[in-house]
Each structure stands twice: as structure tokens, then as C-alpha cells.
């Protein structure tokens, strides 16, 4: 049996895959030492029970997944441009369907955290982490 949170995370991955096919969106894989082009990794994040409707009613939940974006290019300028473009594409992909096909009430996000990892003898990898808040309903606290 799949939880609602699991369905939400898979729908989020699928929405990003469909909109940005060359970024190879995956869930919970190891951080790559080398990125060819661009990459997206969705981490499960954390679930926060917001409130329960009545004593036996559904739970209203907030899920905070992490969307990691990676770009590697030959020069710092090209790397910055590649990550900026990927960030705009992720923003557009999420904005295109804020309810993930009706699975959630909606989602919202702010600015990503950005970092550059230097790799000896290779072009550095620029990364950004976006943490959207996804609001949904579940039959259980764990859902």
C-alpha cells in the first residue's frame, strides 16, 4: 500500500521528468560526483501533520520535499547560467500544475539555497536546493 506522501513525491518527480526530460529527475539517489549537463534529485524531506478534522477525520498535511538541482559546465559563467536556466525550468514545471493533477491542495516555494562544489581537476558542480511546501490530505498521520 502506498501512502499519500509517496504518491505526492512520485507525482512531483514525474511532473519534473515530463517538463525537463534532459535533467534526469530521480528520487533519493546518491549525489553524483560528476554531473553531465544537468540533474535533478528529489529527496523525501519531512511531513508535518497540520491538523485533524474531527476525531476520526482526515489529516491535513504539509510535505517539505527537497528538490536538488545540479549543473556542471566548463567555466563558472557557463555553470551559473546552466543552473539559473534549470531553476527557471523547475519553477515553470511546478507552476504549470500546482495541484499535481488534483492530488494535492497546492504548493508554494521560495528561493533556493545555492552552493558550488569544487572538484579537483574537473569543472565544479553548482547546486541549488528548493524546498516547496506541498499541502495535501491523508487518512492517517503517517500518510
pLDDT digits (tens, 9 = 90+) for 106-121: 999 999 999 877 766 6
In this predicted model, which residue has the larger pLDDT, 110 or 48? 110
Q: What's the whole-model pTM score?
A: 0.90
According to CATH, what is the number of the domain 4-138? 3.30.2000.10
All structural domains of the chain with their residue ranges: 4-138
Question: For residue 21, is pLDDT > 80?
Answer: yes
What average pLDDT is seen over the chain?
89
The DSSP-derived string for 12-54 is: HHHHHHHH-GGG--EESPPPPSS-SSEEEEEEEEEEEEEEEST
DSSP-derived 3-state class of residue 82? helix
Q: How far apart are CA 111 and CA 67, in angstroms?
A: 12
Does 140 score more than 70 pLDDT? yes
Res 105: pLDDT: 96
Average pLDDT over residues 87-113: 97
Rounded CA gap, 93 and 131, in Å?
15
Q: What confidence category does residue 131 fall into, taking pLDDT thresholds of 50, 70 and 90?
A: very high
Amino acid at each position: 500500500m502506498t501512502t499519500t506522501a509517496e504518491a505526492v513525491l512520485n507525482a512531483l518527480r514525474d511532473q519534473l521528468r515530463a517538463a525537463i526530460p534532459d535533467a534526469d529527475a530521480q528520487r533519493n539517489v546518491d549525489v553524483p560526483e560528476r554531473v553531465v549537463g544537468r540533474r535533478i534529485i528529489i529527496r523525501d524531506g519531512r511531513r508535518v501533520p497540520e491538523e485533524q478534522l474531527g476525531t476520526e477525520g482526515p489529516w491535513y498535511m504539509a510535505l517539505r520535499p527537497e528538490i536538488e538541482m545540479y549543473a556542471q559546465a566548463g567555466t563558472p559563467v557557463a555553470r551559473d547560467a546552466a543552473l539559473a536556466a534549470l531553476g527557471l525550468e523547475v519553477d515553470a514545471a511546478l507552476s504549470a500544475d500546482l495541484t499535481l493533477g488534483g492530488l494535492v491542495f497546492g504548493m508554494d516555494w521560495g528561493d533556493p539555497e545555492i552552493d558550488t562544489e569544487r572538484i579537483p581537476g574537473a569543472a565544479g558542480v553548482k547546486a541549488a536546493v528548493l524546498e516547496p511546501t506541498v499541502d495535501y490530505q491523508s487518512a492517517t498521520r503517517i500518510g
